């Protein structure tokens, strides 16, 4: 068993680290002060992504992407996760569901999205539908050769950075017919209700939208009627690995800051790291990071080996659950080591503390991950997690 990263994987990790430190980190305080990345800064960051060779890291060369393995993507995403204010989202990852579109849809949406010429956002969640997608009330009715969408969507992340929306709706208001639709902006009969402020400041917004018989051409249905959840599941697996990568990177940065501070800060005649109370916190942080990184790289490797999709889904849920909660614990300890300095917004640990909380909520709450994990154990036995395959 060879657990060493290849020279290429090490190079990609170093590339992600340099891009994070040189391009994104200088934008942290700007994004935090403005509440998001200012519009006038966005074009330069998009071009930097292209110039650094990071456009389309999650898609095949066939569609114009980089054709990276999941492990190669992961080593990059871990480094991007070091940045605060969700600025990692500047390195776009077009939704994997787009690759299942028709040739015309791939040419019109996926290829330009990979190059950063277009960007799509997902509209799934609603006021009464989050963890239970069958409660979605947005409906799609076909009339005169086009689809009419009606309903409200919440938490449409990166809406103001996107030029099209992937909308999850029930055809004929039937929960057994979940279906995805490609909606170009600005659509007719759609209202941007608001973009509420959240605990974290993010690179882009999280919008609330209302569709009122919004017309969508008949050829803009993505996949087949009733295929919406299957296409979304593929996106969720990738998103959960991405979240795990980002939370790991965030935890490592916080631990590094705390470790450096514990060496430099002196009280009672010695560095505070020499006090057992601080030393034990640093030790606990290191062990949590060690366990999370081991799990993350294993799951990424498993995906590259083509293991059973159900096992991948099971492991991705466990990974997302552990890494998101691990980061909360590690960053909380890092802030405690830093004391009052850790509570200052100019300190990256303070921003990471706010940023990381949402990772236990979006793309499947911690409670939903536990439901998935418990269900896998009931159906397939504990070996789905305790065995090594």
pLDDT of res. 388: 83
Contact 165, 222 (CB under 8 A): no
State how far the Cα of 185 lies from the Cα of 120, in Å rounded to an integer. Answer: 10
Q: Distance between alpha carbon 20 and the CA centroid of its chain, in Å?
A: 16
Query: Domains along the chain?
Result: 7-93 (1.10.540.10), 120-226 (2.40.110.10), 229-386 (1.20.140.10)
Q: 3-state class of 2 per DSSP?
A: coil
pLDDT of res. 131: 85
* DSSP tag of 219: G
Q: Is residue 169 pLDDT above 90, yes or no? A: yes
What average pLDDT does this structure show over 40-44?
A: 97
218-274: pLDDT as tens digits: 999 999 999 999 998 777 889 999 999 999 999 999 999 999 999 999 999 999 999
Strand partners, 184: 164
pLDDT of res. 350: 98
Contact 157, 151 (CB under 8 A): no
State how far the Cα of 320 lies from the Cα of 327, in Å rounded to an integer. Answer: 11
Q: What share of the chain is helix, strand, coil (3-state, %, to 5)?
A: 55, 15, 30
2-41: pLDDT as tens digits: 889 999 999 999 999 999 999 999 999 999 999 999 999 9
Q: Is residue 1 pLDDT above 80, yes or no? A: no
pLDDT of res. 327: 98
> Taking CA 302 as the corner, what is the angle to CA 296 and CA 307, rounded to the nearest 5 degrees?
145
Contact 152, 127 (CB under 8 A): yes
Residues 86-105 as b/e (b if ≥16 CB within 10 A, e otherwise) read bbbbbbbbbbbbbbbbeeeb
Q: Is residue 152 pLDDT above 80, yes or no? A: yes
Residue (of 327, 314, 326, 329) closest to 364 by Cα position: 314
Contact 70, 59 (CB under 8 A): no
pLDDT of res. 160: 97
Cα separations (Å) of 229 from 156, 264, 337, 384? 17, 51, 44, 23
């Amino acid at each position: 068993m060879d657990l060493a990263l290849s020279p290429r994987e090490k190079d990609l990790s170093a590339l992600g680290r340099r891009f994070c430190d040189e391009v994104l980190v200088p934008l942290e305080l700007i994004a935090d002060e403005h509440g998001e990345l200012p519009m006038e800064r966005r074009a330069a960051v998009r071009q930097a992504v292209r110039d650094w060779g990071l456009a389309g890291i999650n898609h095949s060369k066939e569609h114009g992407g980089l054709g990276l393995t999941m492990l190669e993507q992961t080593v990059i995403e871990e480094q991007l996760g070091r940045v605060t204010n969700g600025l990692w989202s500047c390195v776009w990852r077009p939704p994997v569901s787009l690759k299942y579109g028709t040739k015309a849809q791939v040419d019109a949406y996926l290829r330009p999205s990979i190059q950063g010429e277009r960007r799509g956002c997902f509209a799934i969640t609603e006021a009464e539908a989050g963890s239970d997608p069958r409660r979605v009330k947005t409906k799609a009715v076909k009339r005169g050769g086009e689809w009419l969408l009606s309903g409200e969507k919440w938490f449409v992340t990166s809406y103001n950075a996107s030029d099209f929306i992937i909308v999850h709706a029930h055809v004929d208001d039937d929960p057994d017919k979940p279906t995805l639709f490609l909606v170009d902006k600005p659509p007719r009969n759609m209202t941007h209700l608001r973009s509420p402020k959240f605990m974290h400041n993010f690179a882009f917004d999280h919008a609330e939208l209302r569709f009122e018989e919004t017309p969508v051409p008949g050829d803009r249905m993505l996949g087949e009627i009733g295929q919406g959840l299957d296409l979304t599941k593929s996106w969720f697996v990738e998103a959960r690995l991405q979240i795990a990568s980002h939370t790991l990177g965030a935890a490592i940065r916080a631990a590094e800051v705390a470790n450096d501070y514990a060496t430099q800060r002196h009280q009672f005649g010695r560095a505070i790291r020499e006090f057992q109370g601080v030393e034990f916190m640093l030790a606990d942080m290191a062990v949590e990071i060690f366990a999370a990184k081991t799990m993350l790289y294993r799951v990424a490797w498993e995906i590259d080996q083509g293991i059973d999709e159900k096992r991948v889904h099971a492991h991705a849920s466990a990974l997302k659950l552990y890494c998101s909660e691990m980061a909360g614990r590690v960053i909380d300890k890092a802030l405690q080591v830093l004391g009052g300095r850790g509570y200052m917004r100019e300190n990256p640990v303070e921003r990471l503390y706010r940023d990381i909380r949402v990772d236990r909520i979006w793309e499947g709450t911690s409670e939903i991950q536990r439901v998935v994990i418990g269900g896998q154990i009931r159906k397939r036995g504990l070996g789905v997690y305790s065995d090594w395959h």
